[in-house]
Amino acid sequence: MKRNKSFTDNKPLLYLVATPIGNLKEFSSRAIEIVNECDVVAAEDTRNAYDLLNKFGIKKELYSLREHNEKEASQHVVDLINDDKKVVYMSDAGYPGISDPGNLLVKEMLANDIAVSTISGSSAFINALVASGLSSKHFYFYGFLSPKDNEAKGEINSLKDFRNTLIFYEAPHRIIRTINLLKDGLGNREVCLARELTKINEEYIRGTLDELSQLEEDTLKGEMVIIVDGNKEETMISDDEITARVAYFTKLGLSQKDAINVVSEEFKINKNYIKKLLF
């Protein structure tokens, strides 16, 4: 076990800086201050980082850390920090590590005893979820489905029994394809398409998957998040399936208590009933 206090342990620290998903006013004064104080800005795309920082009158040494070089570039960031350089990392939009590079970087920092902290901002899926009108109590963020239809169908199939709200990212040119795959794989559920969040053309399109599949693709420009209702069908699940589901979650690393809680919530089954099956 390791405990890290971000600001009082006096240890080297990497900041992950969230960047605006559209509206530049969401680049916080704290982000500006931290970036101004750093020596090097590592970024997913140095041109985008240059443009963003330029709008705030900030000029910094930039270093490219993207999906294809994340491992080696992370090692370089470790070297910079060990050389007493202050480094921040930013991806193109929203939070690093959320369908963007950043996760390997964090692992590399922790393996080298470097602390990590975040500078808050928005993430497209959080904005979309909270305004969607679908349940935000429990949700499952999936991110991008495979661009290959067959693989995407398999992914959707693995999600069809989830009771909780499902969240997907998608590229604009695949949006109708994905709505259709979701309709075929999940049935005709409630959906919210959140488009161009925080930008002038921000739009929420709420309806059923069937209704949204009939939209003209050329009316769906820009970036989009798809929020789909969880499975609300009454389930007739057998006792064997319940115990197998608990075993599945414990294998994933949950304690038995947590696994029981998840399965109880997922299938709306009394916890004591599940406990009786197991013990």
Contact set for ligand SAM, span 76-105 (CB under 6 A) = 91, 93-95, 98-100
Taking CB under 6 A as the rule, which mask of x and - marks residues 105-124 in contact with ligand SAM?
------------------xx
Distance in angstroms (rounded) separating the CA atoms of residues 219 and 193: 12
User: DSSP of 69-121, one letter per residue?
Assistant: GHHHHHHHHHHHHHTT--EEEE-SSB-TTSSSS-HHHHHHHHHTT-EEEEE--
Q: Hey, what amino acid is at 152?
A: A
Which residue in 21, 31, 40, 212 binds ligand SAM (CB under 6 A)?
A: 21
Nearest approach, Cβ of 144 to ligand SAM (angstroms)? 7
Residue with the shortest CB distance to ligand SAM:
94
Distance in angstroms (rounded) separating the CA atoms of residues 127 and 151: 28
Taking CB under 6 A as the rule, which mask of x and - marks residues 25-64 in contact with ligand SAM?
----------------------------------------
**Between 205 and 254, CB nearer to ligand SAM:** 205
Phi, psi of 232 (to 5 degrees): -105, 5
Stretch touching ligand SAM by CB under 6 A, among 131-139, 206-214, 221-229, 230-238:
221-229
Nearest approach, Cβ of 172 to ligand SAM (angstroms)? 8
Between the alpha carbon of residue 136 and those of residues 5, 81, 155, 191, the distances in Å are: 30, 38, 22, 13
- Binding of ligand SAM by 225 (CB under 6 A): yes
**Between 128 and 263, CB nearer to ligand SAM:** 128
Q: At a CB cut-off of 8 Å and minimum separation 6, what does 217 contact?
A: 175, 176
Nearest approach, Cβ of 44 to ligand SAM (angstroms)? 9
Distance in angstroms (rounded) separating the CA atoms of residues 74 and 63: 11
Stretch touching ligand SAM by CB under 6 A, among 26-34, 63-71, 190-198, 250-258:
190-198
Distance in angstroms (rounded) separating the CA atoms of residues 185 and 66: 33
Burial of 97 per CB tally in 10 Å (0-12, 13-18, 19+): middle
Q: Which residues bind ligand SAM (CB under 6 A)?
A: 21-22, 91, 93-95, 98-100, 123-125, 169-171, 194, 196-199, 223-225
